[in-house]
Structures are given as structure tokens and as C-alpha cells.
Structure 1
């Protein structure tokens, strides 16, 4: 069992290790016909370019730094908005009984299952009519249409796994339904909330298609588009692409390490009733 765990760890971590090695390798090492497992002349020049170069013009390294900030703003705002809507809506679907409840919930799932390319034209026309093309707000609205159904379904299923007697006891003690949600249900649902927030953040952080189509300037481009622009028409800086990949992977990795126990608990807690 331990041998298989080590083998799986090596398989999963090897590409990331090679990404780090490539990001500090010299151009000669990267294009050499012989594989260099360790760079002969390691350099941090690409990271220096990203963090110190001026943005604008043809400086893709400086633009990447702006794209990192854009991605943090867009993904963070999308996660907060979608999580609030997912918690309130998920609780309503789990506890309230109203006409077309199941149909409405299934419609959210159907929207989530649609391929993103199918929604490009209507979303583009909507953002164009609202004047939100090439803006971070436009991306936040677009990403919420993707992340909110995910949060809604995840939180709804988790709330169904919690015993309703806890809320009833809180209401007997004088809490309103909203008070019982805030004081009793949400604290119990903290593992699911953190796990949902983590995966919702990843959905917004890694999204490429909408960011590519709905943005055109550095002011609103996100990390996936900025990395794609490292590849030029006649040449590609593979080391800069690797450095961008390392920096793009750091926030999700750090979030996963910090909230690891909550993520595992959120994924498994809904499997047991009561």
C-alpha cells in the first residue's frame, strides 16, 4: 500500500517538478537534445521579469503580473458571490417546499452541464448590451453563471444530510428560520462550505474560453490567457511559460494545503445521514 502511494505521488508530482525545473533552466538547457534533469546554470531571471517588468506594450512578462491580480479579483469575487447564493438557495431547495422546486433545481443542473461554447454567443451579446465586455465585472458575472449552479447543488445535497431537528430546536428557542440557518446550520456546514469554495475558486481560476473571448486588453485578462500569450508567432519562450505555470499553480496549491482537512470532510460528510 505504501509503495503504491509513493508511486502515485511520483506520477502526480513529476510534471509539476519538471515545470519548476524548466522555469529555472537556461534557454540552452531547454532546447538541448540531451535531457537535463537538473539545470547546469539555474536562473531566476524569468521570475524577476514577471515581478519587476513594466506592463503594457509587448512586455508579456509584465502583463502576466497584472493578469495574476485580475485572476485573484475575478476568482475571489465569483467564489464569494456564488457561495452566498449557493448557501441560501441550497438551503431553500433542501428545506422549503414550493411549486416546481425539483424542476428548478434540475434546470440549474442542466445549465451547468451545457458546454461553455454553447453559451458564448448569448453571453457575448448580453455583455455587449450591458457594456461589460473587456471588464472584470463582466467576467465575474459570466463566471457566476458557471460556479453558482455548482455551489447550489453541492450545498443543497449537504443540507439534506443534516438532521432538521436541530433547526426545529433552534426555532423553538426563538430563532427565525434565517437565524437558525446562520447560527446552527452554517457552522455545521463549514466543511462543505470550504470544500465548495475551493472547487468554485478553481473553476473560475482555470477558466480560459470566456476570458479569451470577452477580454481584449491587459486590464481584464486573466492568467490562462496571459500564459497563452507567452507563445509568439515565430518563437516561444518555454521557460517563461513554465514560470507562469508555476505561479498560476501556487494559489490553488496553497488553498488546498491550508484547507485540506475541511475539503476531505466536506467531500465525505454528505455520505452519512444524521
Structure 2
């Protein structure tokens, strides 16, 4: 009987193992290739070397050009992701609270079109965004792309945060208002601490979205001083005849390290997020 009860678990583990095995093999190959001069038969490392990681202390020379410093790209990536996270979370929290608690004209229509705005492909807006950024003098600046990315992400963030605010009882806010607190003070000191898991979730997802952004950065950033790691990788594969796969593997691992560290340190916060948030319309 016990073996029959465990059968579904064995089947689940087998299915999960089969589906994740190709992904694990790709990561293993990436690690081995980054520390090898070449790979025999495509997957057996030939000779251990740190030459592929020399980009950490010296510039990369590709053909007749010298790529910008990897540390410049790393700083730009952290700056872009950090500022995007700050703007998106702050604006999303205020917008989500307004949608959850305030009755204003057009509130229901805004909630109905929120998901539609988020689903609109950003590639269709590239030409319009280019003219706007160029007119404002923000073309080829990280601030310009930060503002564009924030505008595209805020609708979904506000919708998600609204679900967490809906779970906070009205009685908690009324108690604060009766005690003499202003609406802003109630929101900041009473309501926000009750939705910390939701704030942690949208913060993590916002940072990951900024760190992995490529299309907008590649389209509106042209100078090496503003390059990010995602666009840096594109420079390494811009010429198919000159791709150094060992170097590409090392830079890719370097690009992944902050996300791996972030996942390890924040997984407890993600596990505390409630799967179902009430959507009170």
C-alpha cells in the first residue's frame, strides 16, 4: 500500500527530471566551456584555463576593436535595474492602493485595460518611443530607457499590488483614521507593513525584468559608456565568424551570477507570497 501511495510522487519526479535534464546539461556545458580552451566532441573539456575570464582585469579585443570595460557594463546594468525597480515599485504601490481603495471616475475602465496595456508588444512602440526620446533629449541615455520601461511595467505591477491591498481589512485602516492618522500615514505606517510579501515579490520581479531587458536598451543605447551586460553579450556575437565561445560562456556566467545570488537570498520571501489575492472590483 505504501508503494502505491508513493507512485504518483515517483512519476512526478521522473517527469520533472526528464524535463529539467536538458537545462541542467546546458548549464553544466556553459560552466565547463568557460574554463576550457576547447571542448572535445562538443562536451568534454580539453584543458583547464582562466584565459576566458581575463575580461575581469583586461579589456576584450575582438577583431580590430576594443570592447568597453565589463565593469562599466555591470555598473550600468545595476543602475538601470535598480532605478527601474525603485520607480516601478513606488508608482505601482501608489497606483495599486488607489485602485483598491479609492472610488474615482474611470476606475473600473482603468482596471479593465490594465492587462491589455501590459500585453501590448513593446516592439510595436519602438518608432514612437524613438521620436519621443529624441525630442526630449533622452535618446542614448539610461534615464530615457528607464522611463520607457517603467511606463510599460507599471500597469501590471499596479494590478498585482492591488490584489494584496484587497486582502487588507478595511477595519485596520479605519482604526488608524479614527486615531487621528492621515490617509498617507495610514498607507505608509499601517497598510504597507501588512503587504510586505507582495512588495518583496514585485521588487524581485522588477529587478529581474530590468536585468534581462535587451530590446529597448539595444534600440535606444548606442554609446559604449551606457552599454549594459545584455547588450554587451550581443557585441560578442555580432560577427558570427569571430565568436569566441569560451569567452562568451564566461561572460554569460558572469551575467547570471547576480541573479543566482539574488534568487538564493530572496527565495524565502517569494515562498511567503500568497498564491491568491482577492480582486475586488
Quote the residue 2:87 is aligned against: 81
Say whether residues 1:185 and 2:186 are aligned partners. Answer: no
Quote the residue 1:240 is aligned against: 247
Deviation digits for residues 215-246 of structure 1 (CA, Å, limit 9, x no counterpart): 11111122111101101422211112111211
Given that 1:135 and 1:219 are in contact with CA atoms closer than 8 Å, whether structure 2 keeps it comes out as no
Quote the residue 1:13 is aligned against: 24
Give the deviation of 1:270 after TM superposition. 2.6
Structural mapping, 1:54-65, within 5 Å: 54=59, 58-60=65-67, 62-65=68-71
Q: Measure, in 2, the Cα distance between the counterparts of 1:12 and 1:185.
A: 41
Given that 2:166 and 2:279 are in contact with CA atoms closer than 8 Å, whether structure 1 keeps it comes out as no
Given that 1:79 and 1:147 are in contact with CA atoms closer than 8 Å, whether structure 2 keeps it comes out as no
Quote the residue 2:175 is aligned against: 169
Deviation digits for residues 40-86 of structure 1 (CA, Å, limit 9, x no counterpart): 3222222222x2124798233x4333212111100110001110000
- Match of residue 249, structure 1, among 245, 256, 265: 256
Quote the residue 1:203 is aligned against: 209
Q: Measure, in 1, the Cα distance between the counterparts of 2:170 and 2:152.
A: 29
- Extract unaligned runs of 5+ from structure 2: 1-8
- Extract unaligned runs of 5+ from structure 1: none
Quote the residue 1:115 is aligned against: 121
- Would the alpha carbon gap of residues 161 and 14 (structure 1) be closer, same or farther in structure 2, given more than 3 Å must change? farther
- Would the alpha carbon gap of residues 93 and 231 (structure 1) be closer, same or farther in structure 2, given more than 3 Å must change? same
The 10-residue stretch of structure 1 (103-112 or 170-179) with the greater mean CA deviation from structure 2: 103-112
Q: Based on CA coordinates, which of the two structures has the bigger radius of gyration?
A: 2
Structure 2 length normalisation: TM-score? Answer: 0.86
Quote the residue 1:194 is aligned against: 200
Structural mapping, 1:61-140, within 5 Å: 62-140=68-146
Taking only aligned residues, the RMSD between alpha carbons, in angstroms, comes to 2.3
- Would the alpha carbon gap of residues 112 and 272 (structure 1) be closer, same or farther in structure 2, given more than 3 Å must change? closer
